[in-house]
Amino acid sequence: MGGLSKVLYPWMNRKKPFWVKQEANPYTDEDITPENKQFLEQERMNVLTCNTSPIITEQWDQVPWTPYVTQRCGLIAVKLGMYPLWTKTGRKIDCTIYQVPDIHAIRYTPPAEIDKFISLLHPRHYWLTSKRPPSWIKQKRWGIQLVGAFSADPIEFTPEWCNLFKEAGIPPKRKISRFLVSPDAALKPGTPLGVNHFRVGDYLDITARTTNRGFQGVIERWGMKGGCAGHGSTKFHRRMGSAAGCGGPISRGKRMAGVMGNRYRNARGLMILRINPKLGLIYVPGPTPGPVHAYSLLHDSWLKNRRRQLDANPPPVPTYLPSSIVDEAAAAGGGGSGILDPTICVDIDDDFEQDIYHESIHPSHSPSISYSEE
C-alpha cells in the first residue's frame, strides 16, 4: 500500500475562495475513554444485529401475478466487473457481475398520494421531446417504493437521515432508491430483498450512471470526422463545422462539445445466466453502463416480448419468500408476538444450490472434455 501524499492548496493559510464549500467536522472530541468508546460501539452493533421490524404474519402471503398490471420492485446492486462464461456449444460470453447487498423496503407511497412529489409533476429540464409530465403520473397506475441498501453505523449519518429508517425498524442505509411498483406488489416497511428476487432466465433492465469522461470535443463525444489535416486547413482539424444557418439560432439538441458521460442510461433485455445465492451474485451478458463499483438499479424488463414471457412464467410477487421465513411467520402467528427479524432472509440459500446456471451455460465446476472408455 502506497504512502499518503499531502495536498497543498494555495489558500491553506488564508480564507478559502467562495466556491469552496465550508463544511464543519461532523466528529467532535467528547473526551470519551477507550473503554466507554468500545462500549458504545458494541451497543450500536447490537442495534444493527438485533433490530426488529413491524412485519406481521399476514403480510408474508404471496400475491398472484396479473398480466399488464403487476409491476414488481427492483434491487440495488453494485457492479463488480466482467467475467467470462461459456455455453455448452463452446461459445464464449463476457458477462457483467453484480452483487446484491442487504436490501430492505423503507416505505411505499400509493398512487393516490403521488401528487405530493413535486419533482415528478414539474417538467424537467432534460425532457427534450415533451414539456409535460409522463402519462403514468396522471393516470396514477403505479406508486413509489423506497428501498435502502448497505446497512451502516448510525454514527456516520445525521439524525435526519437516521429518522428515515426509524418507522421501518431497520438500520440506516448508505444508499436509497425508489422504484415504480403497482399496488398489488407493494412491500411493507422492513421487508428484506435478496438475490432470489430474480430467477435464472429472467430478463432485466439495468439503470446506472455512465462513466464520467469530462469535457470532450465532438470527435471524442459524437465520433465526428473532423477537418482535413492538410490542403490549407488552419485551426480546423478537430472542429465540428457549421453550427447553424446564417444568422439562425442553434437548434435544440445540436451535437456539440460538452460533458461526456455521467448520465443515467439503461441496458434493456439482459438475461440472467447465473446466480450465486451464497454470495449474492448475478451474471448478465455483455457490458452495462457505469464504472466498476457503481450503484445500479436492476428491475424486470419493460420490453414487450420479455414482458410476455413473464406473463407465461410469473415471478414471485411481491418478492421471494424462503421456506424458513414461512415457518418463522407461522410460529410467530401461533403464539408469538408477530414481529419478524428483518435480517432473516438475507443471504438465505437453503432452497437453492451454490450456483444456479442457465440450461445453455456450461457449469464452471464441470469438466469441459469427457473421454469414453473403449
Find out whether 185 and 141 touch, Cβ atoms under 8 Å: no
Residue 53 DSSP symbol: B
**What confidence score (pLDDT) does residue 54 get?**
52
Nearest residue to 176 (alpha-carbon basis) of 109, 105, 121, 110:
105
Residue listed under C-alpha cell 421465513: 325
Amino acid 2: pLDDT: 45
Q: What is the pLDDT of residue 273?
A: 94
Q: Report how far apart, in Å, the C-alpha atoms of 143 and of each of 59, 183, 187, 337 are.
A: 18, 7, 11, 30
Retrieve residue 330's grid coordinates.
407461522
Strands (E), the chain: 75-86, 92-99, 103-109, 143-151, 173-181, 192-193, 203-209, 214-216, 258-260, 264-271, 274-276, 281-285, 295-300, 356-357
Hey, what's the cell of 201? 432466465
Question: d(Cα 374, Cα 358) in Å, to the nearest integer?
Answer: 32
- What pLDDT shows up at residue 17? 65
Looking at residue 208, what is its pLDDT?
Answer: 93
pTM for this structure? 0.78
Domains of the chain, each with CATH number or no CATH = 64-120+136-214+262-357 (2.40.30.10)
Paired residues of 207 in beta bridges:
266, 297
At residue 252, the pLDDT reads 82
* Per-residue pLDDT tens listing for the chain (374 residues): 444 454 555 555 666 666 766 666 656 666 788 888 888 888 877 766 654 555 543 456 778 888 888 899 999 999 999 999 999 988 999 999 999 999 999 999 998 888 777 566 655 544 445 566 667 777 788 889 999 999 888 888 888 998 898 888 888 999 999 999 999 899 989 888 999 999 999 999 999 999 999 899 999 999 988 888 878 778 788 888 888 777 788 888 889 999 998 889 999 999 999 999 989 999 999 999 999 999 999 999 989 888 888 888 888 888 887 754 444 444 444 443 333 444 444 444 455 667 889 999 998 888 877 777 76
Angstrom distances, CA of residue 366 to CA of 162, 272, 282, 359: 47, 20, 20, 14
- Which of 253, 237, 299, 274 lies closest to 360, judged by CA? 274
